[in-house]
Amino acid sequence: MEKFANWLRRYSLAIFIHVLVIALWQFWVVLGDVPSYVAPTPVDTAMAIFSNYDWTRNTLVTAAEIFGGYFLAVIFGVGLALIFSWSRILSSTFMPLIVSANMIPKVALGPIIIVWFSYGLWPNIMIAFSICFLPILLTTERGLSEVEPDLLDLVRSLKGSRWQIFTKIQLPGSLPYIFSGMKVAVVLAVAGAIVGEFIASEEGLGYLMLQVQVTLDTAASFLAVFLITLVGVALYAIVLILERLFVVGDRRLEGSY
Amino acid sequence: MTTDAFIRLDGVRKFYRSRGQEFLAVSDVSLEIEEGELVSLVGPSGCGKTTVLKILAGLHPHDGGTVTIGGGSTPFDATRDIGMVFQQSLLLKWRRIIDNVLLPAEILGLPMRPARDRARDLLAMVGLAGFEESYPYELSGGMQQRAAIARSLVHDPKLILMDEPFGALDALTREKMNLELLRIWSESRKTIIFVTHGIQEAVFLASTCAVLTAGPARMADHFEIDLPYPRTLSMKTSEKFGEYTRRIYALLGME
């Protein structure tokens, strides 16, 4: 009970501001007599859950694309940064390619990706992955290179191995960097998956938005946006919790989001 | 030259190469250090005092002269007989203080249980009892340096190399840490080589003081500081103390 009270005190401001925004939105629509195809009330938006659009399945599809693309990006981003930190030659060969390839507008590649992977989950996972992978790679690489030269001397004076430097100093020291890259990547993964669904797909919340737009069912469109946001916030929350677990002893994290 | 000195530097020189040019980082460093001495290397920046330290730590090869550590009655293991303290504490901020102190023991693969007990004792000795489970950010700059000193002692090395360890601290904390270092030195009986550009500090701490000059980087002189231990702050105003500091100023061409 006391724990709950603490939790409430800590997050009451955050909860309050969210509730306030939703309430203001309700008042604006009702008092301003805004037509429902322009902006539905929060209540109308919530009620759209009862229309028969198969919300569960579409939400799961979109969530799978976002989480899938994000997961791949973390694996490849962190993995490549580790490899590059070990091999200068690989790094100076492939980093320029990765950076220039990143400049390719992924949205423009959409139609080609569909030719390669056809419709379905995979092309959208690939688009989400390709958009959110670079910040993870860059921040991890930066974090791994951030080692005090004197600290290296200290370890070397004890004839410490490269592996010891890596596991005891480089890797734990790079975690705050990895997590800041991962936080940025959440937003990009969400955008990537939805863009993919816009370009071509047969299911998912992005696909659904295009469908309901035809009938001016703005409430359903709003609900789709809300659910997409919810998936993104859930992913962000997971990253935040992992950060709290793995990054310890860093005062900068106290009360950060 | 006596034969039983713990450390012997004889005509040590070191070049650096930069953009095809060679320049002298240190030359003419000749010094004998007995076991258990506290030797200060004092000089302006660029005089090569840090380079001498790194040569002793085995981190840099030297280009001329000879360096001998240990031998005879005191064997010296270059892997585990060196402890280092730097200007920054270099504590790993994700580790608790006790785990920071244990880092050298981990790297050397020492048995952890006795090492942990030793780390606790050392933290008590440097005045950090009760802070074992704290994180570095919870400690002040002076306390972080105390932890760094405990870390340099945890694997029980014979030689401690300190590179301006109190250079980043405020003047009062620095004086306090000087007294603390003298106490730790007398309790641990280690050989300490202490690099500083603080002339007062160099004289106050050392049993032997070596003066290095910059441009060209060379060792100008070295001499014993004949002031009794335990030293007190009031000695700093004594006539003898003044003579030593004036001597160093003169060697550095500042008088």
State pLDDT tens for residues A172-208: 999 999 999 999 999 999 999 999 898 878 899 999 9
Which residue of chain A comes nearest to B96, CA vs CA?
A249
- Most confidently modeled range among A28-37, A185-194, B73-82: A185-194
Question: Rounded to whole angstroms, how far apart are CA atoms A182 and A136?
Answer: 6
pLDDT at A109: 80
Q: Which of B80, B103, B110, B162 to mutate to test the interface with A (most CBs of A within 10 A)?
A: B103
Give ipTM to 2 decimals. Answer: 0.88
CB-nearest partner of A250 from B78, B79, B93: B93
pLDDT score at B149: 95
Among A79-93, B78-92, B128-142, B205-219, which is the least confidently predicted range? B205-219
Indicate the SS3 state at residue A65: helix
pLDDT at position A252: 60
Q: What is the mean pLDDT of chain B?
A: 91
Cβ atoms within 10 Å of A116's Cβ, excluding its own:
10
Q: Provide the residue type at B4 as one letter.
A: D
Amino acid, single-letter form, for residue B158:
K
List, for residues B182-230, the tens digit of each pLDDT value.
999 999 989 999 999 999 999 999 999 999 988 777 888 999 999 998 9
Average pLDDT over residues B52-63: 91
Task: Please tell me which residue of chain A has the smallest CA distance to B107.
Answer: A160
Distance (Å) from the C-alpha of residue B105 to the closest C-alpha of chain A?
A: 9
Lowest mean pLDDT among A223-227, B63-67, B90-94, B243-247: B63-67
Residue of B20 and A164 predicted with greater confidence: A164
pLDDT at A257 (0 to 100):
66
Q: Which residues of B touch A250 (CB under 8 A)?
A: 93-94, 137
- Average pLDDT over every residue of B78-95: 92
Which of chain A's residues have a Cβ under 8 Å away from the Cβ of B87? 150
B195/B165 Cα distance (integer angstroms): 8
In a domain, B144, yes or no: yes
Closest CA–CA distance from residue A145 to any residue of chain B (Å): 15
Cα angle value A250/A254/A256 (rounded, 5°): 110
- The domain locations on chain A are 1-34, 54-253
Of B58, B87, B137, the CB nearest to A251: B137
Average pLDDT over residues A12-19: 90
Q: Structural domain of residue B109, as residue ranges?
A: 89-157
The yes-or-no verdict on residue B1 having pLDDT over 60 is no
Is the predicted pLDDT of residue A226 greater than 80, yes or no? yes
**Percent share of chain B, pLDDT over 90:** 70
* pLDDT score recorded for residue A256: 66
Nearest CB among A157, A168, A169 relative to B82 is that of A157
**Above 90 in pLDDT, residue B46?**
no
CB contact B109 to A (< 8 Å) = no
Q: Is B37 left (phi over 0), alpha (psi -120 to 50) or beta?
A: beta
Residue A71, token pair as written in the block: 């997961």
Write down the mean pLDDT value for chain A.
Answer: 90
Edge-to-edge strand ranges of the sheet holding B64-69: B21-33, B7-18, B64-69
Q: pLDDT band at residue A255, thresholds of 50, 70 and 90?
A: low
Topology (CATH level 3) of domain A54-253: MetI-like fold (1.10.3720)
Whether B59 and A160 lie within 8 Å, measured CB to CB: no
Nearest CA in chain B to A176: B94
The mean pLDDT of A30-56, rounded to a whole number, is 89
Handedness of CA A85, A87, A93, A94 (dihedral sign): negative
Q: Distance (Å) from the C-alpha of residue A238 to the closest C-alpha of chain B?
A: 21
User: Is B19 within a domain?
Assistant: no
pLDDT at B102 > cutoff 90: yes
Residue A253 has pLDDT above 70, yes or no: no
In-domain check, residue B3? no
Q: Which among A154, A157, A159 has CB closest to B90?
A: A154
Residue B254 located in a structural domain: no
Q: How confident is the model at residue A254 (pLDDT cuts 50, 70, 90)?
A: low
Contact status of B112 with chain A (Cβ, < 8 Å): no
Q: How confident is the model at residue B132, as a pLDDT? A: 95
Q: Are B93 and A160 within 8 A, CB to CB?
A: no
Q: Averaged over B46-50, what is the pLDDT?
A: 85
- Mean pLDDT on B144-158: 95
- Contact assessment for residue A61 and residue A124, using Cβ atoms and an 8 Å cutoff: no
Bridge partners for B84 per DSSP: B161
- Are the C-beta atoms of residues A128 and A62 closer than 8 Å to each other? no
Average pLDDT, integer, range B170-191: 92
pLDDT tens-digit map of B103-139: 999 999 999 999 999 999 999 999 999 999 999 999 9
Q: Say if B21 falls within a structural domain.
A: no
Give the pLDDT score at A51: 87
Query: What are the chain A neighbours of B96 within 8 Å (beta carbons)?
Result: 249
Give bridge partners of residue B83 from the DSSP assignment. Answer: B160
* SS3 track for chain B: CCCCCCEEEEEEEEEEEECCEEEEEEEEEEEEECCCCEEEEECCCCCCHHHHHHHHCCCCCCCEEEEEECECCECCCCCCCEEEECCCCCCCCCCCHHHHHCHHHHHHCCCHHHHHHHHHHHHHHCCCCCCCCCCHHHCCHHHHHHHHHHHHHCCCCCEEEEECCCCCCCHHHHHHHHHHHHHHHHHHCCEEEEEECCHHHHHHHCCEEEEEECCCCEEEEEEECCCCCCCCHHHHHCHHHHHHHHHHHHHCCCC
**Which residue of A156, A157, A243 is the best one to mutate when testing the B interface, meaning the one whose CB has the most B CBs within 10 A?**
A157
Contact with chain A for residue B98, Cβ under 8 A? no
For chain A, how big is the Rg over CA atoms in Å?
22
Sign of CA dihedral B143, B145, B151, B154: negative
Instruction: Report the percentage of chain B scoring pLDDT > 70.
Output: 98
Interface contact B60, partner A, CB < 8 A: no
Split into its structural domains, chain B has a count of: 1
Give the C-alpha distances (Å, rounded to integers) separating A133 from A75, A113, B121.
Answer: 9, 17, 47
* pLDDT classification of A4: cutoffs 50, 70, 90: confident
Using CB atoms, pick whichever of B54, B79, B137 lies closest to residue A158: B79
